[in-house]
Structure 1
Amino acid sequence: MNPKIGLPLILSMVFLIGCTKAPSVARVEREVLTSIRDSWAATPGKESVTIDGITLSKAGKDQWSGTLQVSGKGWKEDVRVTVRYFKEELSWEVDKWSIGE
Protein backbone atom coordinates (compact mmCIF):
# COMPACT_ATOMS: atom_id res chain seq x y z
CA MET A 1 0.00 0.00 0.00
CA ASN A 2 1.29 3.41 -0.91
CA PRO A 3 2.04 5.87 1.87
CA LYS A 4 -0.19 8.90 2.10
CA ILE A 5 1.76 11.85 0.78
CA GLY A 6 -0.46 14.78 1.76
CA LEU A 7 -1.41 17.55 -0.63
CA PRO A 8 -1.99 16.69 -4.28
CA LEU A 9 0.66 17.83 -6.68
CA ILE A 10 -0.25 20.30 -9.38
CA LEU A 11 2.67 21.50 -11.43
CA SER A 12 2.36 23.98 -14.20
CA MET A 13 5.42 25.80 -15.40
CA VAL A 14 6.63 27.54 -18.51
CA PHE A 15 10.25 27.86 -19.43
CA LEU A 16 12.22 28.97 -22.47
CA ILE A 17 14.24 26.45 -24.41
CA GLY A 18 15.58 28.83 -27.06
CA CYS A 19 14.84 27.21 -30.41
CA THR A 20 12.68 28.19 -33.37
CA LYS A 21 10.95 24.87 -34.08
CA ALA A 22 9.46 22.19 -31.89
CA PRO A 23 12.21 20.23 -30.12
CA SER A 24 12.71 16.48 -30.31
CA VAL A 25 10.92 14.12 -27.93
CA ALA A 26 14.24 13.33 -26.23
CA ARG A 27 14.93 17.01 -25.57
CA VAL A 28 11.40 17.58 -24.27
CA GLU A 29 11.78 14.61 -21.90
CA ARG A 30 15.12 15.92 -20.57
CA GLU A 31 13.90 19.51 -20.10
CA VAL A 32 10.62 18.56 -18.43
CA LEU A 33 12.15 15.87 -16.21
CA THR A 34 14.84 18.26 -14.95
CA SER A 35 12.27 20.96 -14.21
CA ILE A 36 9.89 18.55 -12.45
CA ARG A 37 12.70 17.13 -10.32
CA ASP A 38 13.81 20.64 -9.31
CA SER A 39 10.23 21.60 -8.38
CA TRP A 40 9.65 18.36 -6.48
CA ALA A 41 12.89 18.75 -4.49
CA ALA A 42 11.69 22.17 -3.33
CA THR A 43 8.36 20.76 -2.04
CA PRO A 44 8.37 20.14 1.74
CA GLY A 45 7.25 16.67 2.81
CA LYS A 46 8.12 15.01 -0.50
CA GLU A 47 11.60 13.79 0.49
CA SER A 48 10.55 10.11 0.49
CA VAL A 49 9.31 10.28 -3.13
CA THR A 50 11.63 9.88 -6.12
CA ILE A 51 11.00 11.00 -9.71
CA ASP A 52 12.36 7.98 -11.63
CA GLY A 53 11.78 8.98 -15.25
CA ILE A 54 9.47 10.20 -17.97
CA THR A 55 8.19 8.63 -21.18
CA LEU A 56 6.61 10.85 -23.82
CA SER A 57 5.25 10.32 -27.32
CA LYS A 58 4.00 12.74 -29.95
CA ALA A 59 0.31 13.49 -29.41
CA GLY A 60 -0.22 16.00 -32.20
CA LYS A 61 1.41 19.05 -33.69
CA ASP A 62 3.64 20.62 -31.04
CA GLN A 63 2.21 18.40 -28.29
CA TRP A 64 3.41 15.31 -26.39
CA SER A 65 1.82 13.12 -23.75
CA GLY A 66 3.03 10.29 -21.59
CA THR A 67 3.78 9.23 -18.05
CA LEU A 68 6.00 10.34 -15.22
CA GLN A 69 7.31 7.47 -13.12
CA VAL A 70 7.41 8.18 -9.38
CA SER A 71 8.30 5.85 -6.52
CA GLY A 72 8.79 5.61 -2.80
CA LYS A 73 9.62 2.91 -0.30
CA GLY A 74 7.85 -0.22 -1.56
CA TRP A 75 5.68 1.37 -4.26
CA LYS A 76 5.74 2.82 -7.79
CA GLU A 77 3.17 4.85 -9.68
CA ASP A 78 2.81 6.32 -13.18
CA VAL A 79 1.32 9.80 -13.50
CA ARG A 80 0.01 11.34 -16.71
CA VAL A 81 1.98 14.24 -18.23
CA THR A 82 1.00 16.63 -21.04
CA VAL A 83 3.54 18.89 -22.76
CA ARG A 84 2.78 21.66 -25.26
CA TYR A 85 5.08 23.83 -27.35
CA PHE A 86 4.05 27.41 -28.21
CA LYS A 87 6.45 29.38 -30.41
CA GLU A 88 9.67 29.27 -28.39
CA GLU A 89 8.19 28.17 -25.06
CA LEU A 90 7.63 24.70 -23.70
CA SER A 91 4.90 24.36 -21.07
CA TRP A 92 4.02 21.23 -19.16
CA GLU A 93 1.40 20.02 -16.73
CA VAL A 94 1.35 17.02 -14.48
CA ASP A 95 -2.14 15.76 -13.74
CA LYS A 96 -3.37 16.39 -10.21
CA TRP A 97 -2.95 13.33 -8.03
CA SER A 98 -2.49 12.29 -4.47
CA ILE A 99 -0.52 9.13 -3.86
CA GLY A 100 -2.12 6.66 -1.49
CA GLU A 101 -5.63 8.10 -1.42
Structure 2
Amino acid sequence: MVNILDNAIKYSPEAPPKIDVYTENVGTNIILKIKDQGSGMSKAAVKRVFEKFYREHTGNIHNVKGHGLGLAYVKRIVDDHQGYITVESEKDKGSTFTVRLPLIS
Protein backbone atom coordinates (compact mmCIF):
# COMPACT_ATOMS: atom_id res chain seq x y z
CA MET A 1 0.00 0.00 0.00
CA VAL A 2 3.01 2.24 0.53
CA ASN A 3 3.66 2.16 -3.21
CA ILE A 4 0.14 3.39 -4.02
CA LEU A 5 0.42 6.19 -1.46
CA ASP A 6 3.88 7.11 -2.75
CA ASN A 7 2.52 7.35 -6.31
CA ALA A 8 -0.39 9.48 -5.12
CA ILE A 9 2.09 11.91 -3.59
CA LYS A 10 4.52 11.90 -6.55
CA TYR A 11 1.84 12.53 -9.18
CA SER A 12 -0.05 15.23 -7.26
CA PRO A 13 0.41 18.74 -8.63
CA GLU A 14 -0.15 20.50 -5.31
CA ALA A 15 1.85 20.47 -2.11
CA PRO A 16 0.81 19.13 0.23
CA PRO A 17 -1.13 16.63 -1.90
CA LYS A 18 -4.77 15.86 -1.12
CA ILE A 19 -5.14 12.11 -0.64
CA ASP A 20 -8.15 10.34 0.85
CA VAL A 21 -7.79 6.86 2.35
CA TYR A 22 -10.85 4.77 3.18
CA THR A 23 -11.07 1.36 4.79
CA GLU A 24 -14.10 -0.83 5.24
CA ASN A 25 -14.74 -4.36 6.48
CA VAL A 26 -17.13 -6.20 4.17
CA GLY A 27 -17.90 -9.71 5.33
CA THR A 28 -14.63 -11.59 5.42
CA ASN A 29 -12.77 -8.94 3.43
CA ILE A 30 -11.17 -5.59 4.02
CA ILE A 31 -11.44 -2.92 1.36
CA LEU A 32 -8.90 -0.12 1.09
CA LYS A 33 -9.45 2.84 -1.23
CA ILE A 34 -6.81 5.45 -1.97
CA LYS A 35 -8.07 8.49 -3.88
CA ASP A 36 -5.82 11.27 -5.10
CA GLN A 37 -6.26 14.57 -6.89
CA GLY A 38 -3.23 13.98 -9.10
CA SER A 39 -2.68 14.05 -12.83
CA GLY A 40 -4.84 10.97 -13.47
CA MET A 41 -4.37 8.53 -16.34
CA SER A 42 -5.71 8.06 -19.82
CA LYS A 43 -8.08 5.15 -20.51
CA ALA A 44 -5.24 3.37 -22.32
CA ALA A 45 -2.97 3.74 -19.28
CA VAL A 46 -5.65 2.41 -16.91
CA LYS A 47 -5.76 -0.80 -18.97
CA ARG A 48 -1.98 -1.26 -18.71
CA VAL A 49 -1.07 0.28 -15.34
CA PHE A 50 -0.39 -3.09 -13.66
CA GLU A 51 1.96 -4.31 -16.42
CA LYS A 52 5.68 -4.54 -15.61
CA PHE A 53 7.70 -1.59 -16.93
CA TYR A 54 4.61 0.33 -18.10
CA ARG A 55 4.60 4.08 -17.53
CA GLU A 56 2.41 6.63 -19.23
CA HIS A 57 4.75 9.26 -20.62
CA THR A 58 2.71 12.44 -20.72
CA GLY A 59 2.48 15.70 -18.83
CA ASN A 60 4.31 16.17 -15.56
CA ILE A 61 5.36 12.54 -15.10
CA HIS A 62 8.59 13.06 -17.03
CA ASN A 63 9.94 14.52 -13.79
CA VAL A 64 8.88 11.49 -11.73
CA LYS A 65 11.51 8.80 -11.31
CA GLY A 66 10.57 5.16 -11.61
CA HIS A 67 10.78 2.05 -13.74
CA GLY A 68 7.14 1.01 -13.96
CA LEU A 69 7.51 -1.89 -11.54
CA GLY A 70 5.77 -0.71 -8.38
CA LEU A 71 2.14 -1.29 -9.34
CA ALA A 72 3.01 -4.59 -11.05
CA TYR A 73 4.49 -5.76 -7.74
CA VAL A 74 1.50 -4.46 -5.79
CA LYS A 75 -0.85 -6.43 -8.06
CA ARG A 76 1.21 -9.58 -7.69
CA ILE A 77 1.20 -9.32 -3.89
CA VAL A 78 -2.55 -8.68 -3.83
CA ASP A 79 -3.15 -11.62 -6.20
CA ASP A 80 -0.93 -13.87 -4.07
CA HIS A 81 -3.22 -13.09 -1.12
CA GLN A 82 -6.37 -13.98 -3.13
CA GLY A 83 -7.39 -10.34 -3.32
CA TYR A 84 -7.90 -7.94 -6.17
CA ILE A 85 -6.94 -4.42 -7.09
CA THR A 86 -8.67 -2.02 -9.46
CA VAL A 87 -8.12 1.54 -10.59
CA GLU A 88 -10.49 4.23 -11.77
CA SER A 89 -8.92 7.32 -13.26
CA GLU A 90 -9.58 10.30 -15.44
CA LYS A 91 -6.92 12.49 -17.00
CA ASP A 92 -6.31 15.63 -14.92
CA LYS A 93 -8.85 14.52 -12.28
CA GLY A 94 -6.96 11.96 -10.22
CA SER A 95 -7.15 8.24 -9.57
CA THR A 96 -8.78 5.87 -7.12
CA PHE A 97 -7.15 2.54 -6.34
CA THR A 98 -9.31 -0.07 -4.62
CA VAL A 99 -7.78 -3.11 -2.94
CA ARG A 100 -9.85 -5.96 -1.53
CA LEU A 101 -8.10 -8.54 0.65
CA PRO A 102 -9.51 -11.44 2.61
CA LEU A 103 -9.22 -11.18 6.38
CA ILE A 104 -7.42 -14.00 8.12
CA SER A 105 -9.71 -15.75 10.60
TM over 0.5: no
Structure with greater strand percent: 1
With the shorter chain as reference, the TM-score category is 0.3 to 0.5
Q: Given the two structures, how large is their TM-score scaled by the length of structure 2?
A: 0.36
Looking at secondary structure, tell me which structure has more helix per residue: 2
* TM-score, scaled relative to structure 1: 0.37
Higher-RCO chain (CA-CA 8 Å, sequence separation at least 6): 1
